[in-house]
């Protein structure tokens, strides 16, 4: 949510930003908010003046009563009664206007950074840089689900019987490999100075609407029937929510955390759920990184954070590239975002394995997360980035480490988490 001062003082900037995000249907909201806000402030000023007058009249009533001038005091009391009635009317009108303003403000997109490329959708995202040489071996690499099944590591059929489409069982060394990646990602971020955290896996609706847009919420979140609770789609939600309505100490900034959680997603939309594989599923595990910082430091942290993910994937022997998200592909709360994509030697192209986002003060403004500086309280900036999402990282790892004999080499950094195991072999291997 942007600062309403932008609409009061520079509505043209807000409208131009909406156009850059190809959301012209929202342009009328800016004028509506402006008019509602103008009326709200007029009512508030009138109410403040009436309260001040009421206070003066109350003192006058007291003086008249002390002087025994009851009839004169009663006349003024009648005037105070009318003032109270008008104040009540104004307060009700103010509350209604506040709700109308907030409803509209919540869907006005955040002001994107000047460096964001302008484009309608993800097809116009811009490649920034490649890390590692993308290779295609001279032998065939099977579909990832077939590799996992050959390693006795995946059972989608049983998951379909227990839970339905979009779920899976990971088994044996494959399950161990998935856990090893997450454990390594955890320790990797701890070594970078981040504090490890395991958050709640369910959050209330006021936290959900604080960390994401309504469109994202509808497409992603599972609601617990009969309760004001949602399953998290990423631990960023509950990690940022931890600071809701708090004033954090300025000298504690930046706050850098890395969190583990299972993630639950409806995956509603054009992409749908993958029938055979584990690329797009309803449930997976993730290691995340979250930063709360001063506004002037947020872009520096943005650059650091995506580089951590690149470094981690290169340590897993996986070539990656970074892709700058264009204006039309940015979620409404984001100022700037970059995707990290891993190389798929089977498909001979890159695919998304993580995303780093700077949200400016949008989440902090919605959730009331402030810090106190020399010139008073101000909203912190929040950032988040995927360290490693289990299923997609597993796909990238097995494809890039798949051998001609059907085995998968375990990257050196993961071997200590696998009891020294160097290779996972197919079930029919010697």
| Sequence spans of domains, the chain | 4-105, 122-424
Helix (H) or strand (E) holding 62: helix 27-66
Domains 4-105 and 122-424 alike in fold? no
The pair of structure tokens assigned to 382 is 């929040």
Cis, peptide link before residue 254, omega less than 30° from 0:
yes
Percent of the chain with pLDDT over 90: 88
What pLDDT, on a 0 to 100 scale, did the predictor assign at position 374?
A: 87
Over 60: is that where the pLDDT of 373 sits? yes
87 contact partners, CB below 8 Å, separation of at least 6: 47, 50, 51, 54
C-beta of residue 282 within 8 angstroms of C-beta of residue 264: yes
Above 80 in pLDDT, residue 272?
no
Q: What is the pLDDT of residues 134-147, one digit of tens each?
A: 999 999 999 999 99
Q: In the predicted model, is pLDDT for residue 15 greater than 80? A: yes
Which pLDDT score, from 0 to 100, does residue 317 have? Answer: 94
Distances (CA, A) of 71 to 58, 389, 396: 15, 77, 87
- pLDDT > 80? residue 429: no
Cα 217 to chain center, whole Å?
10
**Residues 391-405 pLDDT 10s:** 999 999 999 999 999
Q: pLDDT confidence of 110, banded at 50, 70, 90?
A: very high
Given this structure, which CATH class describes domain 4-105?
A: mainly alpha
Please give the pLDDT value at position 271.
Answer: 60
Tell me the residue ranges of DSSP E strands in 311-348: 320-324, 336-344
Provide the percentage of residues in the chain whose pLDDT is more than 70. 97
- 3-class secondary structure, 386: strand
Can you tell me whether residue 208 is helix, strand or coil?
Answer: helix
Q: What is the pLDDT of residues 211-270, one digit of tens each?
A: 987 777 777 889 999 999 999 999 999 999 999 999 999 999 999 999 999 999 997 655
Q: For 150-165, b where at least 16 C-beta lie within 10 A, e where not — what string?
A: bbbbbebeebeeeeee
Instruction: Choose the CATH number for 122-424 among 3.30.930.10, 3.90.550.10, 3.40.50.720, 3.90.180.10.
Output: 3.30.930.10
Cβ neighbours for 352, distance < 8 A, ≥ 6 positions apart? 323, 339, 340, 341, 392
């Amino acid at each position: 949510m942007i600062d309403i001062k932008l609409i009061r003082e520079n509505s043209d900037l807000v409208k131009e930003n909406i156009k850059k995000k190809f959301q012209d249907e929202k342009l009328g909201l800016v004028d509506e908010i402006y008019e509602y806000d103008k009326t709200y402030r007029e009512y508030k000023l009138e109410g403040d003046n009436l309260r001040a007058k009421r206070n003066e009249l109350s003192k006058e009533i007291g003086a008249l009563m002390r002087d025994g001038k009851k009839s004169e005091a009663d006349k003024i009391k009648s005037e105070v009664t009318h003032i109270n009635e008008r104040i009540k009317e104004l307060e009700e009108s103010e509350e209604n206007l506040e709700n109308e303003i907030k409803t509209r403000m919540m869907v006005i997109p955040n002001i994107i950074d000047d460096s964001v490329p302008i484009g309608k959708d993800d097809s116009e995202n811009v490649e920034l840089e490649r890390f590692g040489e993308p290779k295609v071996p001279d032998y065939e690499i099977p579909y990832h689900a077939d590799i996992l099944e050959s390693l006795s590591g995946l059972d989608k059929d049983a998951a379909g019987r227990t839970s339905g489409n979009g779920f899976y069982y990971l088994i044996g060394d494959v399950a161990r490999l998935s856990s090893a990646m997450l454990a390594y990602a955890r320790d990797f971020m701890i070594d970078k100075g981040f504090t490890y955290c395991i958050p709640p896996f369910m959050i209330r609706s006021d936290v959900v609407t604080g960390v994401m847009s309504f469109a994202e919420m509808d497409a992603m979140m599972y609601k617990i029937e009969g309760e004001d609770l949602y399953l998290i789609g990423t631990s960023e939600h509950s990690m940022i929510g931890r600071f809701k309505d708090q004033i954090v100490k300025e000298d504690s900034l930046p706050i850098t955390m890395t969190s583990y959680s299972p993630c639950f997603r409806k995956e509603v939309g054009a992409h749908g759920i993958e029938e055979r594989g584990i690329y797009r599923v309803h449930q997976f595990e993730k290691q995340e990184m979250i930063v709360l910082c001063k506004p002037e430091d947020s872009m520096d942290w943005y650059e650091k954070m995506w580089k951590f993910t690149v470094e981690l994937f290169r340590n897993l022997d996986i070539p990656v590239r970074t892709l700058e998200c264009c204006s039309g592909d940015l979620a409404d709360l984001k100022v700037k975002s970059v995707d990290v994509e891993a190389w798929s030697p089977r498909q001979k192209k890159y695919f998304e394995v993580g995303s780093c986002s700077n949200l400016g003060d949008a989440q902090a403004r919605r959730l009331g997360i402030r810090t106190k500086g020399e010139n008073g309280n101000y909203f912190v900036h929040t950032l988040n980035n995927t360290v490693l999402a289990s299923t997609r990282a597993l796909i990238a790892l097995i494809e890039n480490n798949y051998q001609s004999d059907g085995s998968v080499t375990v990257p050196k950094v993961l071997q200590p988490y696998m009891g020294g195991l160097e290779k996972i072999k197919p079930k029919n291997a010697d």
